[in-house]
Amino acid sequence: MNLRQAALGAAALDAGAIVAFSAIGRASHDEGVLGESGLGLATTASPFLTGAALGWLLARAWRRPCDGKRTGVIVWASTLVGGMVLRAVYGQGVQVSFVLVAGAVLAVFLIGWRVVSGWIATRRGLKP
């Protein structure tokens, strides 16, 4: 696998993780995927996806997409902070408990897969 493929795969994993996080949150509040507007999941996920995109730019994630320490932490922090700022701008909830839960879940989702991939690469004798 080349770096371009790794970056595309990493971006897809990040986006999928954020959409899954958003879907789980909506389901836990009985909001449904579409919601009343028909854009429920998109409305919930978009602030976090935007934050993640900013994190990818800040981290230059395409250079080391699977690096949990550098790339993962920057993408996670940007996703959380950017997502919460945009939620506030859009008039969506930003309660402290939500920020804490979102921070923990997004850390597991966005840093976690990178840690696992690094561990697998090291076990196989590859450079993570």
pLDDT at 118: 83
| Helix, coil or strand: residue 33 | coil
Per-residue pLDDT of the chain (128 residues; tens, 9 = 90+): 688 998 999 999 999 999 999 999 888 866 665 555 556 788 899 999 999 999 999 999 999 999 989 999 999 999 999 999 999 999 888 899 999 999 999 999 999 999 998 888 777 776 65
What is the DSSP track for the chain?
A: --HHHHHHHHHHHHHHHHHHHHHHHHHHTT--SSTTTS-HHHHHHHHHHHHHHHHHHHHTTTTSTT-IIIIIHHHHHHHHHHHHHHHHHTT----HHHHHHHHHHHHHHHTHHHHHHHHHHHHTT---
pLDDT at 117: 87
pLDDT at 63: 94
pLDDT at 32: 62
pLDDT at 57: 98
Token pair, residue 44, equals 């919930």
Asked whether the beta carbons of 93 and 87 are under 8 A apart, the reply is yes
Q: How many CB atoms neighbour CB 25 within 10 A?
A: 18
